Structure formats: C-alpha cells, structure tokens
Amino acid sequence: MNIIKYLNLKSIVNLLKKLLFLTIGAFIAGFALESFLVPNTMIDGGVVGVSMIVSYITNFNLGLLIFVFNIPFLLFAFTKMGKYFVLQTFFAIVMLGFATNLFHSHDVTHDHLLATVFGGIILGTGVGIVLKNEGSLDGTEIMSLVLSKKFGLSVGEIILGFNIFIYGAAGLVFGWEQAMYSILTYFIASRVIDLVLEGFNSSKSVRIISDKAYEIGQILVDDLEIGVTYLTGKGGYSGQEKTIIYCVVSRLEMAKMKEVIKQIDPRAFMSVGEVNEAYGMRLSKRIDKI
C-alpha cells in the first residue's frame, strides 16, 4: 500500500512539474510574441502565424484566435497521438492565450533587427521548454507528424510547405520586408529550440579505427575517464580484422581526445557524429567534472 501511495505521489509531482514548465514556456513564448513580434508586424510560423495575420486584419484577440484555430488540430490528434500529449498541449495553448493578453501592448523595442534577434531567441526558448515537457503550442506540428506517416514526407518538409504559404500571406499583408524579418525570426527560433531540446552539453559519438586501438582505449579510460566499447570490423580493401573503438563524449572533451589519438597513432581514422541525447551515469559524471 505504501508503494502504491508513493507511486501515486510521484506521478502527481511529475505532472505538476510538467504543468509548471509548460506554463513557464508558454508565458515566455507569449512575451516574445506580444513584446517583440506583434509591435513590429512580424509573425511566427504555423497556426500562431495565421492567428497573428488574422488578428492584425480583424483586430480580434490574438490569444483567442490561437486557441480557436488550434482546436481542430487537437481534436484530430486526440485519437492519433494519445490523450496525455493532447491534454498537455491544450493546457500549454490556454496558457499561451493568457500570456498574450497579459503582455499585450508591453512593447520592448521597435528596432526590427533587435526584435528579430531577441524575439527569435526568446520565442525559441519558450517553445523549446514546452516541447521538452511533452506539449506543443502549434497544431501544425501535430498535423505534420500525422501527414508524414501517411504520405512519406518528413515533418520538416510538411512544416516548410505550410510556412511558405503563411509567410507569403504575411508578405501580402505586412509587406515583403516584414515577411523576410519574420522568416529570419523563425530561423533563429528553430535553432534555439534545438539548443533547448539537446542542451548545451551536446554529445558526439566517436568511432576510432587504429592498429593501436587497445592502447588508445586504455588511455581514454584511465586518463580521460571516457567509457569505451570495442567493436570488431573488417577492412573492405585489406580484408584484415580491425578493432574499432566506440565512445560518446561531450563537446568539450573532443580536443583532448584528438590530442591523445594523434600522440599514440597519427594514422588513426576517426569519425565523429552528432548525438541528440545520451544517457548514463558515467557520462553525466564526466560532464559535471568539466
């Protein structure tokens, strides 16, 4: 019985934590929209962008339009993506509506360049926090996930298709210069979203092929405290058996690793790839020490 109570309490705490971060993310995004983009007639992409255009033309409340335009996407996603995601997205969109009303007419700058850069950074931070906590502020992303499975297109390609029409409409309504500023804001926001989701300590996967693989691996383990895995491969040209070192390192460890490899075997082959997420106690401890 105590275990059941503990699990229930833990679930409630996790839910409250998610709702808190969804609220924070939505309010940050709302601040970016009302304090940077709206005063400078710039828009975001997706449903939010459509809402901003309609609000400008009709003078209707932006927060209400965002909520209303997202309802069809939420209903569509309810059977496709699970009730918890939809309910958390519904909550985040409601909070975004409140935020846009709270920050309405709180202009920070009318300099287009400053509004583009800082509006994009702040907007990307808010959206990234919401996405990281399993919610969304825009129904376009939900629709894109479903359509990508149906038509074999990537989510990015579908979102790009939507946004071409949206920014084209923005050019007709606000002028093409404002549309270009809007596209730049969207680009900055998307990069910041990636940074929020992946974290500043983004990791890299490394594969090292060397005749001195075990010697290199021992130095990596003993001196740099990097966990390694030895894989077996076969040279396509020589046909010889090769030992491959595989490891995941932080961005800050790359320079030290390269130096070690050059000292031991200057002829070693090393391939580096991006890792969006990496879990494990050993990796976490190393990153904390850096």
As a whole number of angstroms, the distance between CA 242 and CA 273 comes to 20
Of residues 39 and 45, which shows the higher confidence score? 39
> Once rounded to an integer, what is the mean pLDDT over residues 51-60?
91
Residue-averaged pLDDT of the chain: 82
DSSP assignment of the chain equals -HHHHHHHHHHHHHHHHHHHHHHHHHHHHHHHIIIIIGGGT---SHHHHHHHHHHHHH---HHHHHHHHHHHHHHHHHTTS-HHHHHHHHHHHHHHHHHHHHTTT------HHHHHHHHHHHHHHHHHHHHHTT--S-HHHHHHHHHHHHH---HHHHHHHHHHHHHHHHHHHH-HHHHHHHHHHHHHHHHHHHHHHH-SS-EEEEEEE-TTHHHHHHHHHHTS----EEEEEE-TTT--EEEEEEEEEEGGGHHHHHHHHHHH-TT-EEEEEEES----HHHHHHHHH-
With 0-12 CB in 10 A as exposed, 13-18 as middle and 19+ as buried, what is 59?
A: exposed
- Report the pLDDT value the prediction gives residue 5, as an integer from 0 to 100: 54
- Best mean pLDDT range from 79-93, 108-122, 129-143, 158-172: 108-122
Q: Residue 81: its pLDDT value, please? A: 67
Write down the pLDDT at residue 289: 47
Domains and CATH numbers, the chain: 2-198 (no CATH), 203-289 (3.30.70.120)
pLDDT band at 160; cut points 50, 70, 90: confident
pLDDT given for residue 122 in this prediction: 94
Q: Residue type at 21?
A: F
Query: According to the model, what pLDDT value does residue 85 have?
Result: 80
Q: What is the DSSP letter of 179?
A: H
Q: In what order do the strands lie in the sheet with 241-250?
A: 229-234, 241-250, 203-209, 269-275
Contact in structure between 141 and 155 (CB atoms under 8 Å) = yes
CA distance 38 to 29: 12
Mean pLDDT of 194-222: 82
Rounded distance between C-alpha atoms, residue 88 and residue 77, angstroms: 12
CB atoms within 10 A of CB 107: 14
For residue 154, with 0-12 CB atoms within 10 Å meaning exposed, 13-18 middle and 19 or more buried, which class applies? exposed
Residue burial 113-122, b: 16+ Cβ < 10 Å; e: rest:
eebbebbbbb
Most confident stretch, 2-6, 199-203, 234-238? 234-238
- From CA 194, how far away is CA 113, in angstroms rounded? 22
pLDDT at 285: 46
pTM beyond cutoff 0.85: no
